[in-house]
Amino acid sequence: MNEVLKAIAERNSCRDFAETPLTQEQVKTITDAALAAPSALNRQPWHITMVTDKKVVEELDKDGMSILAAAEDKAPYERVMGRGGKMLYNAPCLAIITNDGSHYAAIDSGILCQTITLAAQSIGLGTCIVGMAGIPLNGPRGGDFKKRLKIPEGYAFSIGVLIGTAITGKTPHDPEASKITYIE
């Protein structure tokens, strides 16, 4: 099996990261790959904020957990609490993808997200795609967080990717062949 197909087949959602920070070389490898991601009309409507400052990741996590705890629907909060009580799973790196809201920006952000996860997988790192990373950015302190994270004016949260060394391995989900229809 070639290396790309192997990375796709083996990638899974890591929810237990080691404290080990990413090296500058690992961050550069991932961001170089991300910048090679395709986009509609090559507009690249995204911005990537790589947060490797552990204190900032922890602050985002704590703020997000406070928002979840106060929410009327307790299911998301209870799910995170059942998985150790950290929304960002102790990850040493959070890639925040924001976009300019243009026509294909959401699709292009998804392509970028997948590129980041596969690049990280290919160099032996675990990842978890996290929509919950947007909770603190859209919460009461969101403006402050966006300013501190240097998110460009007019850009909105798309998706987050947690990146780091996985503590335990996890079997990827089983492919579901019934999700494909062939028209021949």
pLDDT digits (tens, 9 = 90+) for 5-38: 989 898 989 999 999 999 999 999 999 999 999 9
106 falls within a domain: yes
- pLDDT at res. 169: 76
- pLDDT at res. 177: 87
- pLDDT at res. 59: 98
82 falls within a domain: yes
180 falls within a domain: no
- pLDDT at res. 8: 87
What's the rounded Cα separation, in Å, for the pair 59 and 56? 5
Record the pTM: 0.94
| Domains of the chain: total | 1
101 falls within a domain: yes
Residue-number span of the structural domain to which 151 is assigned: 3-167
172 falls within a domain: no
- The CATH number assigned to the domain holding 64 equals 3.40.109.10
Q: Dihedral, CA atoms, 152, 24, 15, 162, nearest 10 degrees?
A: 10
